[in-house]
Amino acid sequence: MIDMGFVMAGHAIFTVGNDKGNHYTFRVSCPKNNPDLHFIGLLTGPDNGADYTYMGILLPDGAVRLTKASKYTGDSTPVRVASWACKVILGKAALPAGYSIQHAGRCGRCGRLLTTPESIERGIGPECWDIMHGGAAVEAPKVEELIGF
pLDDT at position 144 over 70: no
Alpha helices in the chain (DSSP H): 4-7, 77-89, 117-122, 126-132, 143-147
The mean predicted confidence, pLDDT, of the chain is: 91
84 compared with 143, residue with greater pLDDT: 84
- Of 85, 102, 133, 114, the C-alpha closest to 2 is 102
Q: Where are the beta strands (DSSP E) in the chain?
A: 11-17, 23-29, 39-43, 52-58, 64-65, 100-103
pLDDT higher than threshold 70 for residue 136: no
- Name the region of 88 (left: φ>0; alpha: ψ -120 to 50; beta: rest): alpha
Least confident of 15-24, 40-49, 94-103, 137-146: 137-146
d(CA 94, CA 107): 25
Does the model's pTM come out above 0.75? yes
Determine how many CB atoms are found less than 10 A away from the CB of residue 64: 22
Residue 1 has pLDDT above 90, yes or no: no
